[in-house]
Amino acid sequence: MQFFNQQTMTLLVPVLLVVLYFLIKNNLNKLKSKRAEELFRNYHKDRIIYFSKEVDYLGRESTGKSKIVKNGSLLLTSDELHFVRWMPKEELVIPLENIKKIEEVESFLGRNKNKPLLKIEFNGENGNTDSAAWEIDNMHVWKESLLNNLND
């Protein structure tokens, strides 16, 4: 007698795929929360002006076009903008004094998300002009918060 016949496999494979999906989703949610908490913990709560737990990072102009939109968390303090990518962990810290321009754009590095993107133009580590962009909720609040802190 065969243990795994056609009918058993037909039922078992979808069930295993659903279980696998939920395991992966659960682990990603835990990782997302862990990375967001790590970023949040690095700053005293009085220093944090604005925070978005989940943003889509479209990359940096200096590193070129990426095939993958990177998920992470974005935090603004009175002196820097700090992004942490969830997986693999990657950080981008932009001192506010280095920011040259803040704008809302439709595309970045040839990628169009059909939603406005927050583009930050800044002086990079080597002094050259660089830029980065994020798809974020509350675009108006982010722009206003950044502009208010640049003018201080």
pTM, full prediction: 0.77
Quick one: CA torsion of 90, 141, 103, 93, rounded to 10 degrees?
-20
> Please, what is the end-to-end C-alpha distance for the chain in angstroms?
78
Residue 67 Cα distances to 20, 57, 59, 90, 104, angstroms:
25, 12, 10, 16, 22
**pLDDT the model gives residue 67:** 64
Q: What domains appear along the chain, each with residue ranges and CATH number?
A: 6-150 (2.30.29.30)
pLDDT at position 3 is 66
Q: What is the pLDDT along the chain (152 residues), one digit of tens a residue?
A: 466 677 777 888 888 888 888 888 888 778 777 777 777 777 777 888 998 888 999 988 888 776 667 889 999 999 999 999 888 888 899 999 999 999 999 988 887 778 899 999 999 888 899 999 999 988 999 999 999 988 76
